[in-house]
Each structure stands twice: as C-alpha cells, then as structure tokens.
Structure 1
Amino acid sequence: MTTESASGGPASGGPAPGDWHEALAGLEPRRFWERFGELTTIARPSRKEEAVIAWVDAWSGRLGLSSRRDAAGNTVISVPATPGREQAPTVVLQGHLDMVCERDPESPNDPAEGRIRLVRDGEWLTADGTTLGADDGVAIAAMMALVEDGDIPHGPLELLMTVAEEVGLEGANNLDGAMVTGSVLVNLDSEEDGRITVGCAGSTDTWIDITAAREPATPGAVSLRVAVSGGLGGHSGTNIAAGRANAVKVLGRALGEALAEVPFRLVAMDGGRSRNAIPRDAAAVVQVPADATAAFGEAVARAEAVIRDACSVTDPGVTVTVTPDAGDGAPAWTSEATRRMLDAVAVIPTGPLAMSPAFDDLVETSTSLGEAVTDGDVLTLHSLSRSSNDAAMPDLIGTLQAAARLAGGTIRVRRNYAGWRPDMGSPVLAATIAAYTRALGEDPIVTAVHAGLESAVIATRVPGELDMVSFGPQIEAPHSPDERVSTPTVERFWRLLLSLVDELSAPAVRG
C-alpha cells in the first residue's frame, strides 16, 4: 500500500547545524556537501529511519514536489523535467536512507544517535571513531543537490529512496513497485571511482543455533574474559578478498588452541555488530579451574603470537587479551558442549570461495561469519553468503548445513535476493559510457561488484523491465569506523551524474 503526499512532511527546515561546516568548507559541489553534512546529524540506522524520512519529507515539501511512500517506508519523489525535456523517458535515481552504525567502543560519537564528527584528511573525508555514512549518504545528497540546482537539464525524474538496505535489502524486497513508473534505473550505491557497475552478487543469510543445557559452575572455578580487538573489519563483500581477520574466527581459534592444553567451560561468546561487516571485535567468558588460570593465559598468549604473525600484513593491530571477569559462579556449558561450539566456529567457512570467470580480480562466491550471539542456552552463529552465480549457492549452503549437523545444532536459511546478471548490450550502459567519456575525458571500466545492490531486487518488484546501471565515488572501508570517501572523486561522480541525466534526456536520445 502506498500513501500520497504533496508536501510530505513538516514545514520546518533540516536539522540544526552541527560541526560539519568547518570539515566541509570549500568542497565542491557545495550543495551536495551541505546536504551530506546535514545527513551526518540525523540518526538513520537500519529499521529506524523515521528521522531521516521526516527530513526528506520536509525537503520535498519546501520544493513543492509530490511524493509517495509504501508500507515499508520506501519513498518516491517525482521531479518534473526541465523546460524542453518533458518528453524524455522517466529516469529513476536510487539510493538508500539507512547506514551501518559501527563505532569504536571508546568513541564518544555514535551514528545510531546522529553523532558523526567529520574529519578532513587531505583529499579524504572520514569520521572520528565511527562509520561515515557515505554508504549511501552520497546518493541521497546527490539527488537532493541535483534537484535544487535549476540549471541542470534533465527529463522527468523519480527519486527512489529505500530503507533497511543494510539488513538484507529489506526495503527493496518490500517495495511497492507500482510507485515506480520509470524504465531506466540509475543506482548511486557503488563505491569505486572510474567504474560502471552492471551486475552484483545475490545473498543468503544462515543462522546456526547450537543449544546445550548449562550446568552449575565448578566450585572454585575462575571466570575470565578473552577478547579479540584491533582488526580492520570492513564490508563482508567488497573487502572479503583482502583476507582480513574475522574477530569471531580469531577468538574461536585462540580458544580452541587453548582448550587443547587447559580444560575450561564456555559461558558466553559474542562478536560482530552487523551481518554484512567483517567482525572487528569479539569476546568470550570462560570458567577455568583456579589452579589453571596461569596456564590458560599462557596458552592463549601462545595462540595470539601465531595469530598475530598470520595477520601481520592484513591486520597488524589484532590482539587477544585475557582479563578477570566478574561472573564467577555463573552456569556454564559442559566441556562437551564447549568443544562442539568451538568446533563449529572452526569449520564454518569464511572468505572468498571462487573467483569470477567474467571479470578479472572479482570474487564470485564468498561467505562471512558476521555475528556470534549468546542468548541463554543458545549460541547462534550468523553468516552472510554471497554469489553472482546463483547455481553455486546450494553447495555453499550445504556446507553450512553440514557444519550445523556436526555441531548438534540446527540451521535457519533465508535467501535474500538473486544476483543481477550483467547485460553488456544495455542502452543505458551505452549512454552512461558516452556520458562518462564526455564529462571526464576518459573511458570507464565496466564491471560487477561482489556485494548486494538494490537494483537486483528492484528489478523484480517493478512491473516491466528496467534498464540499469550503478556508479559512485571512491568509498573505502565501508561498514567500519575506517570508512572514508575521496572528495575529488565525489566531484567526478557529480559531473558524471549531471552528464548522464542530460544524455538520457537529450533530443537525439529521445528520437
């Protein structure tokens, strides 16, 4: 069901100015950076986009634009063509409103509460201790800036702003496709400058639940906390080929090697904050016999030394620490259940599994153990698996099902969306290449991405066929506090966007 609105929201303006003005001073395009700066003051975690939706509503209302919203919260804003371009085909510009809200544990900033402190580092923009939200704030800011600049020629536009993209493309999966009338979709959620994306990987979530009864603490046992930190993390799709340390896997390895030397019982194991981010931190609570605490610490230290050596190039800051825990006397899993749980962490695959035969250096199939969660008697291990080859996914899921059986657990499987298969003969691809060459004076690279793009889902929700491309500026380490965007490539991204809406609405194209 959709709702119609002429003004779409409150009459007030955007949020009160934050400290973003100084960080963005002098950057071009000015309107783009103003809208982006405002976005950094708005809380917009997945499934909690109410504040940013209200902000967009107020903006469209001030401009007198009509908008439509479906039951999921996805919004379509209709923008009339500039004079002389009224007969051009309607182009859908698309991006998502939510962001991954990761933060360093010690950071006073928190994007989930609208606290992002921008930092300029040469030609890069980043945030102090948190994710930046360039994924996908650049799309929202670009759409708004384009519409506000009355000198940019374009045909009829529809601004499709989706919700809950970062949690399995939920918004796109629940899109009321009847809201969208355009036949050309330009997704603004790619993260590599100089590339036009024409395909993406599909994804499947799995949850392995291992349930085991707890027993009272062994008299005199000491509770210790084993923590992994210092990993680089990153996007579990676009950064998976970098071989970065997965904190949950590192924790499981350290505990597994220690268990071979010193008996202990597992009380809890938790790690990872986002299903689509490589876990940077993880921690476990264990109960160790009082006379074995020193031996346990030494065993973990030996494991840490080997792990740090293995990660010295990809994650030189990884550490494994052992500290006292206040939970002495809490019920713990049995020694047998502890072994099964650590075995499960060990055998669940993580990393690239196959490379694309169509594009150089592109991962075709991968999986990432993104979260470990203890809830009562249950340890849940949540993986996100991706492939641009839909036929490869059943074999991967079969591996995870086998891991669940061997651990005495059960598995839940949720297929999110299929892959977006490249169409190298696409008219909009040809137009984008022409617009790119005209605006930037060079040829682009045409490729696919090992991540989920909403284009794949939206194409299944909108009646008829959509001709689609995706592009964006250079964004590095998305989904982690190291996320940063290259400011010169934002300007290039902007020039390409303006060139493309002109190209798609020019009389020669219409004819």
Structure 2
Amino acid sequence: MNNEISKLEPISLWENFYALTQIPRPSKKEQQAAKYVEEFGKKLGLETIVDKTGNVIIKKPATPGMENRKTILLQGHVDMVPQKNSDKQHDFGKDPIETYIEDGWVKANGTTLGADNGIGVAAAMGILQSKDIPHGPIEALFTIDEETGMTGAFGLEAGMLDADILINMDSEDEGELYVGCAGGSNANMEFSYSEVQTEANTVAFKISLTGLKGGHSGMDIILGRGNANKLMFRLLKELVAAYGVRLASIDGGSLRNAIPREAFAVVTVPANNVIEFSETVEEFSSTYKSELAATEPDLLLVAEQCDMPSSLMDEIAQDDLVNSIQACPNGVIRMSDAMPGLVETSLNLAIVKSEGGKTKVLCLIRSSVDTAKEDVESTLESLFRLAGAKVEFSGQYPGWKPNPESEILQVMKDVYNNEFGKIPEIKGIHAGLECGILGAVYPNWDMISFGPTIRFPHSPDEKVNIETVGKFWKFLLETLKNVPAK
C-alpha cells in the first residue's frame, strides 16, 4: 500500500492521517477507528475515557509554565462518508483508502478520501503525542457518527469535560474562521404501492443517470450541480405522460448528506412506442448536457434494454410518486441576509428507493434560521401528504449562533495576522458542524471552527490541499501558545 502521504510535513499529522486511512470507518461502522484512537491515548499514558455513546475523550495536562491557561477542547469526528465511483471495487467495511498525491493535493483512488474529518482528528492526535509543543490543559473529543446523524454529539453528557474553549477542526477553507453553522432536519417520506403484473407487448429498459459530481449537501449545494433524482423524475414524468411507460423500480442516491450522483430506474415501454421512447431519452440527455454544461460535463443518461421485471408499481402509486418528486423543492431555497454569499436554507432530495411495496424518499433540510427550517418541513409535509405518503421528521439539530464577543475569535484573528500577514475571513457555514449540539450541552464554551482547504467532500473527488494543511497546523500550534489565562 502506498504510504507516501505519511512522509509529508508536518510528519506527526500526516502519519496519523495515513493510519486512519488504513482503518475502515464509514459512518455507523467506525468502531475500529474509535478503538484505535482509544488505544492511542492509553499508550501515551493519558487519561482516556469512552462514554456510553462511544465517543473517545483524551485529556493531557499543560506543558510546564502553561498551567494557568484556559482549557482547550480539540474536537473532530472519526467517521467518514463512504462514496465511490460505480466502476470502483471497494468495500468500505474492510478496505483501506488508496491515497495518492497529485498537483499539491492528497486524493483517493475512486472513493472519498476521509480528510473530512480525518485531518482534524489527526491534528488532535499530533498534539496529544507531542513532547515539544507548548500548550495549556488539553482535552480532545473524538465523536462518532457525525455524518449520518451526529449521534456522538447528541450523546455527549454534561460533566465529562472541563474545557473553556472548543476548537472544532471540521471546516474546509484555510484562512477562514467559522463562528456559526446551519441546523438541520431529516425528512422521511414513505409511499406504499401494490406490485402488479407486467403487461403484454411491452419491452423493459433500465435507465441509468450517472457521471454527476455530487458533493456535500451543505457546502456544495450552492454550486448548482445536478441532482440525479430530480433529473431522473423530470424524465420519467415525460415518459409516463407521452408513452405510457410504467415504473418497476427506482434507486437514486445513497446518502442523505450527499448530493445524489446516480439514479437508476427499471421501466416497461409499450412495444409500439420503443423508438419514440429511445429518442426522448436521447433528447433529455442532450438537454441536460446543455443545461448543466458548466457543472456536469461528465453527465451520462442512457436507456438499455433489460430483462422483464417480475412486477410493476401500481399506476396510481407510480403517478403520485412521479408527480411529488417532480414538484419537490431542491437546492438553495434562500440566501442569508446576515452573511452575504452564504446559503441560509436549502433542501437536498437525497434518496428515492423502491423495494418490497415501499418507496422511501429521504431529504435533508439545512438552515441557519430555525423558523425557515420549520417552513420547509411544512412544505414537504403538505406536498407529500397530498400525494398519499407518510411523512415524519427526525434528527433535528440546532444551528450555532455567532458570538461577536468571542475571546478565542479575537486571539485567533491576531495570531493569523501575525503569522500570515492578514486577517482571516470570519464566516458562517451552511453545514451541520457539531458545535451547535455540543454548545447546547456546555453553554459556557467559547467556540470556533477552522481547518485546511478540502474540496468536494462527500464525493469521490474529495481532496485536501497539502500546503494548507501545513498552514492549518502552524496556526493551531500558535493558537495553543496564545490561549488566554483563566
């Protein structure tokens, strides 16, 4: 296995990150990584705690002369988003991530890299194992299952940590300090359908929409990328109306917090409409490529004849599904008034999957304004209940309200200016950092988030910029030196 990234500077960070890439850690299956971090702390002789949720807490005393400083909590999550290209053979439950270096970036071969949030975790590990880095009292919190439910953050209990300041290392633009984030809500819709017999004189086709970029449903939602589910159902609506196409199954998207890159539908077409059906698919392919030329250059839409399915979705359920997905909002809903250029509210139509008489439609709503998030919930509830679906919402988590009086913000602004000759940008982020949830449990914390430059997280194009990792590390070390006294 190529371990060239472990030789990059700073050595301690990159060695720890490389070690994490060798441990399977998809969300909800990150136990090996959490155990590795636990053993890491114990081998260092540091106080190491595993809470009842599975989070790992490691505490390190101050270096000599720094005992009077406020306690810093370094925080990151050990899980990663498991996404791969359709032609890549990879089992996230057992296979290591194959990393390589290209043009100043660390990338992965056909899969997500796990720099989100492996770099933050590796940095905390580097501080914990250091013998020559001055710092006050340090606590490190390694949470589980951030990506699919923030389970670790929700499970953290009061009284386990003594920190005064939380430094979250899970943001993705070097030179920026994040002081607020969006909250979120999972929307879960379910249609029931009867499985009916296929009709005589029909031909079966599998429609495949692939090659989209996907990406992080918070960070990348503003980029105008194609949503495979929306594009597929736009086509299906036309095919059903014009040619009497019937739907046997649909499988679009795979993760709630990733913009869907692929969708597949098995349909039947009346034999006398096959030519027109195929021409329409080609027309939609050309339309999509034209509309999304700038954002989706590799889009591929094809229909290939396949074996006849064993059954079809009943026609009423099919029409309800097609019409509701076509009508469902998706993408940016409103931009922020408080922070120009920042998305306030968005919706990701993430997964549409039929199986065994049920079709599940899963969305992720994000907003930095709780009332706006509730309004989108109401919109979805109205739409899908009119279409006959069951609707429920789960996993709601709060946003993080900026604190303009933050002491650590001022410290880090000054440190960055001294080190790099400019003031960092102060921003909010349209993603669900754990800060909002953790801060609700420890309301005394002064909180901030920063990180190196990571591009296209939650997709197989994920990459982290090597130069910015070095700046991120230097910034972290200088911040620790300048933590205010208690």
Shift of residue 289, structure 1, vs aligned partner: 2.1
Give the equivalent residue in structure 2 for 1:262: 243
Shift of residue 424, structure 1, vs aligned partner: 1.2
Give the equivalent residue in structure 2 for 1:294: 275
After the TM superposition, list the runs of 4 or more consecutive aligned residues in structure 1 that deviate by more than 6 angstroms.
none
* 2: CA distance, partners of 1:240 / 1:501: 34
Give the equivalent residue in structure 2 for 1:420: 400
Asked if the contact 1:224–1:287 (Cα under 8 Å) also holds between the matched residues in 2, the reply is yes
Shift of residue 24, structure 1, vs aligned partner: 4.6
Asked if the contact 1:109–1:128 (Cα under 8 Å) also holds between the matched residues in 2, the reply is no
Correspondence for 2:14 among 33, 38, 58: 33
Give the equivalent residue in structure 1 for 2:380: 400
Asked if the contact 1:110–1:130 (Cα under 8 Å) also holds between the matched residues in 2, the reply is no
Correspondence for 2:33 among 52, 57, 70: 52
Note if 1:376 corresponds to 2:356. Answer: yes
Give the equivalent residue in structure 1 for 2:455: 476
Correspondence for 1:457 among 421, 437, 444: 437
Shift of residue 295, structure 1, vs aligned partner: 2.3
* 1: CA distance, partners of 2:132 / 2:61: 13
Once the two structures are superposed, what CA deviation does each residue of 1:313-364 show, in whole Å capped at 9, x if it has no partner?
11111111111222x1512112332221111111111111111111121000
Asked if the contact 1:76–1:159 (Cα under 8 Å) also holds between the matched residues in 2, the reply is yes
The one-letter amino acid paired with 1:306 is T
Correspondence for 1:500 among 475, 479, 483: 479
Asked if the contact 1:101–1:110 (Cα under 8 Å) also holds between the matched residues in 2, the reply is no
Shift of residue 292, structure 1, vs aligned partner: 2.5
* 2: CA distance, partners of 1:425 / 1:391: 25
Shift of residue 241, structure 1, vs aligned partner: 0.6
Shift of residue 69, structure 1, vs aligned partner: 1.3
Matches within 5 A, 1:330-409: 330-409=310-389
Shift of residue 148, structure 1, vs aligned partner: 2.0
Once the two structures are superposed, what CA deviation does each residue of 1:118-167 show, in whole Å capped at 9, x if it has no partner?
12111111111000000000011101112222111101111000000001
Asked if the contact 1:236–1:368 (Cα under 8 Å) also holds between the matched residues in 2, the reply is yes
The one-letter amino acid paired with 1:284 is A
Correspondence for 2:109 among 108, 118, 128: 128
Structure 2 residues not aligned, in runs of 5+? none
* 2: CA distance, partners of 1:484 / 1:207: 31
Once the two structures are superposed, what CA deviation does each residue of 1:442-493 show, in whole Å capped at 9, x if it has no partner?
210001000000011001123x411100000000000000000010000010
* 1: CA distance, partners of 2:218 / 2:99: 25
Asked if the contact 2:76–2:142 (Cα under 8 Å) also holds between the matched residues in 1, the reply is yes
RMSD: 1.4
* 2: CA distance, partners of 1:169 / 1:427: 27
Note if 1:184 corresponds to 2:165. Answer: yes
The one-letter amino acid paired with 1:278 is I
Asked if the contact 2:211–2:300 (Cα under 8 Å) also holds between the matched residues in 1, the reply is yes
Change (3 A) 1:383 1:329: closer
Asked if the contact 1:271–1:373 (Cα under 8 Å) also holds between the matched residues in 2, the reply is yes
Asked if the contact 1:111–1:131 (Cα under 8 Å) also holds between the matched residues in 2, the reply is no
Asked if the contact 2:206–2:264 (Cα under 8 Å) also holds between the matched residues in 1, the reply is yes
The one-letter amino acid paired with 1:366 is S
Give the equivalent residue in structure 1 for 2:195: 214
Asked if the contact 2:243–2:270 (Cα under 8 Å) also holds between the matched residues in 1, the reply is no
Once the two structures are superposed, what CA deviation does each residue of 1:44-103 show, in whole Å capped at 9, x if it has no partner?
011111111221122112110111111211111011110111222211000000000100
Matches within 5 A, 1:70-81: 70-81=51-62
Give the equivalent residue in structure 2 for 1:446: 426
Shift of residue 214, structure 1, vs aligned partner: 2.1
Asked if the contact 1:101–1:112 (Cα under 8 Å) also holds between the matched residues in 2, the reply is no
Describe the SS at the equivalent of 1:234. coil
Note if 1:488 corresponds to 2:474. Answer: no
Give the equivalent residue in structure 2 for 1:323: 304
Shift of residue 402, structure 1, vs aligned partner: 1.6
Structure 1 residues not aligned, in runs of 5+? 1-17
Correspondence for 2:409 among 420, 429, 441: 429
Give the equivalent residue in structure 2 for 1:510: 485
The one-letter amino acid paired with 1:465 is N
Describe the SS at the equivalent of 1:46. coil
* 2: CA distance, partners of 1:329 / 1:315: 31
* 2: CA distance, partners of 1:126 / 1:110: 18
Shift of residue 261, structure 1, vs aligned partner: 1.7
Shift of residue 253, structure 1, vs aligned partner: 1.0
Describe the SS at the equivalent of 1:60. helix
* 1: CA distance, partners of 2:392 / 2:456: 29
Change (3 A) 1:84 1:45: same
Note if 1:227 corresponds to 2:202. Answer: no
Give the TM-score taking structure 2 as reference length.
0.97
The one-letter amino acid paired with 1:459 is G
Bigger drift between 387-396 and 446-455 goes to 387-396
Once the two structures are superposed, what CA deviation does each residue of 1:350-407 show, in whole Å capped at 9, x if it has no partner?
1111111111210000101011121211111111000001121121111101220232
Describe the SS at the equivalent of 1:76. strand
Change (3 A) 1:329 1:458: closer
The one-letter amino acid paired with 1:139 is G
The one-letter amino acid paired with 1:170 is T
Asked if the contact 2:206–2:306 (Cα under 8 Å) also holds between the matched residues in 1, the reply is yes
Shift of residue 416, structure 1, vs aligned partner: 2.0
Give the equivalent residue in structure 1 for 2:65: 84
Asked if the contact 2:164–2:446 (Cα under 8 Å) also holds between the matched residues in 1, the reply is yes
Change (3 A) 1:59 1:415: closer
Give the equivalent residue in structure 2 for 1:139: 120
* 2: CA distance, partners of 1:402 / 1:213: 23
The one-letter amino acid paired with 1:477 is F
Sequence identity, in percent? 37
